[in-house]
Amino acid sequence: MTANKFLQTVVTAFALVGLTLGSSLAQAATIVQPTNADESTINGGRPGSQTIDGSGLSDATIVQTDDPIPATWPSHGTDSSSSMWVSSTSGGVSGQWLILDLGQAYELSGLHQWNFNEDGFTGVGIQNVNILFSSDSAAFSSASHSSWGDTFNTTFAEAPGSTGYTGETINFNDAIGNRTARYIQLDVVTNYGNSVAGLSEIRFIAVPEPSAFALLAGAFAFAWIMVRRRG
């Protein structure tokens, strides 16, 4: 093999590695744990902050911000008094809401939710919900909802009301797809039949931008392939 051929082989291999690395880094998803929560109403001292603090999870340390998506999500227990949000009985279910602050703006591809999961008790969990997105700090206020952007409409599966419940992942797979936001609002439309709404825990899934090295490697790979084709 000539020196030129050897160089071409090495560079081609590097180019392929660059393409693979650039693609994998660009698509790697991580968890985002909200840093703050506000709620429409509270029932029995069970605020919205209990949906973001890891309370009730079998292992909250693997679902913190920047953690990779786990192969198996932690399970949620059934102690409703200290690990879930429950709304007031006044005003009905429709119109209840949670606002969550992620701490900074992220590109989000979906969420993972553990619905209300009290032992042997069903009907409280959120069913139909409108999810709104914003990067405007004015959004984190129950008095100002004018800055909310595109809405994602979805249905949360009901929890079983027993231990071993690992929740569900929901992808933002509508026509808009990924959303970039710091603030998330969950507007409850219906629940599973009770007079209040509730949620145990929630996390969001971020698609980070590729690193500078990944961009450089990908660009180099593309340029080399173009040169080879023209040669």
Domain boundaries, the chain: 1-28+209-231, 29-207
The CATH code of the domain at 29-207 is 2.60.120.260
Contacts of 162 (CB under 8 A, 6+ apart): 78, 117, 119, 120
Tell me the average pLDDT across 181-198.
94
Tell me the average pLDDT across 192-221.
75
Helices of type H across 30-97: 80-83
Give residue 23's pLDDT: 47
Predicted confidence (pLDDT) per residue in 98-147, tens digit:
999 999 999 999 999 999 999 888 889 999 999 999 998 888 876 666 67
Give residue 225's pLDDT: 58
85 phi/psi in degrees, rounded to 5: -90, 135
Contacts of 58 (CB under 8 A, 6+ apart): 74, 75, 76, 77
Judge contact between 107 and 207, C-beta under 8 A.
yes
| 3-state SS assignment for residue 90 | coil
Return the residue matching tokens 């509508």. Answer: 174
Give residue 13's pLDDT: 45
Give residue 56's pLDDT: 95
CA atoms within 13 A on the CB side of 22: 17
Q: Which amino acid is present at 93?
A: V
Structure tokens at 13: 């291999």
Tell me the average pLDDT across 156-172.
96
Please determine, for residue 76, whether its predicted confidence score (pLDDT) is greater than 90: yes
